[in-house]
Structure 1
Amino acid sequence: MSKPGPYSTQVSVPLPTDGDIRSIVGDGYDPDSVLNVVKMFAGTEDMYPALIGMVRAVFATPGIDARHREVIILRAACVLHAPYEWQANEQMARNAGLSTDEIEAISADGAVTGIADDYVLLCRAADEMYSSAASLTDSTLSALLATFGDVVTRKYIATIAWFSLLSLFLNSTRVPLETTDKIGDRTSPLG
């Protein structure tokens, strides 16, 4: 595992033009502040509302702790080797309150240890869901339920699943890494 490096491919899906993005996103579109992932989503045209709706849900739903979400995202980036996801969310994780040591632990090869138990549990859940089993063991699911309760466990499982889809989309389209500091103090790709 470990932190993903840059893409090693030569072919990518081009970002849509600013005009095409504006026609989907609306007149408030600012090419200097909108992240490349959102631009690539706009290129899906009629699928954009559903994709951006899921982003809004994952980043704004009640009960989801921003640090927990970032733990899930960073672990997904490592396990699924998603360079864009790591680059954007390493800073968002800091903005959400994760320390450098916690971020480093999340990128560990093998089982994550040495950080808060709830972070370790979320990493273990992500590892299991992203494995060839594509599911959770009874032990991990029981621990999630005991730690977070039924509703938040469902939300975390949906969040882990979403970042699998997102990693596949990012890697397969090869969304360009951000070349400017668009992240700033964000904790969400929507600003």
Structure 2
Amino acid sequence: MARPATYDAHISVPLPTDDEIRRVIGDDYDPATTLNVVKMFAGTADIHPGLIGMVRAIFGTEGIDARHREVIILRAAAVLNAPYEWQANEQMARNAGLSAHEIDAVAADDAVTGIDEEFVLLCTAVDEMYSPAATLTDETLATMLETFGALFTRKYIATIAWFSLLSLFLNATRVPLETTDKIGNRTSPLG
């Protein structure tokens, strides 16, 4: 899997106007710092609160290592060929503490190897859940339960499922890529 760099499409859903976004997000909306994914979410109007609620839950859940989350996001982006997801989160992964070697490994064409065992396990889970079978093997699930316990296995599975939905949304709408300076030191799309 190559690092997804651009959309292979000529038509995209336009971002909502700043006025449309402000009506949904409120007076705190800052067009210079709000990421394009959040802007596109605002364009869903009454669905926006649910989407942002899920983002807050995924990026704010207790006990989840930010590096684990970023491994899931980057593997999802690589498997689902999601340019926005890769581009924005490659920087967020660095900000969360992933090394260049770990980021490169997550983009592997085959099974991920050569990095922390927990990272490899999470990449395996992404690969399996995004496969045609759309589930985990008993071996992977048993290893997740042994490694993370039942509560965190549930949280990781929900996180993997969320990034599938998000990648599909990003790819179908073709959310414009960000600039690295806009991402800055973030480890979350909400700042």
Deviation track 1:86-132 (CA, whole Å, cap 9, x = no partner) reads: 00000000000000000000000010000000000000000000000
Cα deviation for residue 180 of structure 1 reads: 5.8
Separation of aligned partners in 1, 2:78 and 2:137: 21
Q: Where do 4+ consecutive residues of structure 1 move more than 3 Å?
A: none
Cα deviation for residue 141 of structure 1 reads: 0.1
The corresponding residue for 1:29 is 29
Deviation track 1:75-96 (CA, whole Å, cap 9, x = no partner) reads: 0000000000000000000000
- Report percent identity of matched pairs: 74
Name the SS for the 2:28 alignment partner. coil
Separation of aligned partners in 1, 2:2 and 2:49: 33
The residue identity in structure 2 corresponding to 1:76 is A
The residue identity in structure 2 corresponding to 1:172 is A
The corresponding residue for 1:134 is 134
The corresponding residue for 1:97 is 97
Cα deviation for residue 5 of structure 1 reads: 2.1
**Partners of 2:128 and 2:136 within 8 A in 1:** yes
Q: TM-score, normalised by structure 2?
A: 0.99
Gaps (5+ residues) in structure 2?
A: none
Cα deviation for residue 181 of structure 1 reads: 1.7
Question: RMSD value over aligned CA atoms?
Answer: 0.7
The corresponding residue for 1:55 is 55
Please state if 1:123 is matched with 2:126: no
Q: TM-score, normalised by structure 1?
A: 0.99
Cα deviation for residue 63 of structure 1 reads: 1.4
The residue identity in structure 1 corresponding to 2:74 is L
The corresponding residue for 2:114 is 114
Deviation track 1:35-56 (CA, whole Å, cap 9, x = no partner) reads: 0000000000000000000000
The corresponding residue for 1:148 is 148
The corresponding residue for 2:38 is 38
Name the SS for the 1:182 alignment partner. helix
Gaps (5+ residues) in structure 1?
A: none
